[in-house]
Amino acid sequence: MILGSTPVGPDCSQRTDLAPITGSLQAGSDRFVTSFTIASSLPAKPSNSGERNDFYGEEIIFSYRAENQKPAISFDDESLPISFFIQVGAADSVLVLDLIASGAKAKVPNLAEGSTLYVTVKLKGKTSGGTTVESNEATFPIRIVGSCVGSPSDGTGACANPKQC
């Protein structure tokens, strides 16, 4: 289950000094990195069965919708392979993502200042027993702005982005 989003610093570590419910991205940019806290809500299997109920992530699905954008820009959903593991009962796993997936990178820079991009994320995978499962959907709004001043992800590192605020 996706519990929520937390911004990251330039070194990709979660920032504890910020708790925004939306992000901002400078017009013309095509990268927005944030983290999602994810947890396993799967019940543990009886200990005598020898089978666990861990989650193995296999796919991430991105959906996009732009509001207040003239002319309108439509996006296709995007499915990307992913590989990660969440132990049954885990409550504090973190997944760091660039919310602008490859197919959207050509369109997001064309969004006008004042528009809002809604990015919805969903995870799919299997349990250790082979059952197919999927997460809830989490939607993160990103406002398109003229400029970012004092970006919390400014600096050096894998998640550095002075155009994200």
pLDDT digits (tens, 9 = 90+) for 111-155: 999 999 999 999 999 988 888 999 999 999 999 999 987 777 777
Q: Specify the pLDDT at position 90.
A: 80
Q: What value does the mean pLDDT of the chain take?
A: 88
Higher model confidence: residue 55 or residue 43? 55
Query: For residue 74, what are its two tokens?
Result: 């439509």
Mean pLDDT of 81-107: 89
Q: How far apart are the first and last CA of the chain?
A: 26
pTM for this prediction: 0.88
What is the tens place of the pLDDT at every residue in 51-71?
Answer: 678 889 999 999 999 999 888
Burial profile 15-48: b = 16 or more Cβ within 10 angstroms, e = fewer = eeeeeeeebbbbbebbbbbbbbbbbbebeebeee
Kindly report whether the peptide bond that precedes residue 109 is cis, defined as omega within 30 degrees of 0.
no
pLDDT above 90 for 5:
no
Q: Specify the pLDDT at position 99.
A: 95
Query: For residue 71, what are its two tokens?
Result: 């002319």
Higher model confidence: residue 21 or residue 20? 21
Contacts with 75 (C-beta within 8 Å, 6 or more apart), sequence order: 63, 64, 65, 66, 103, 104, 107
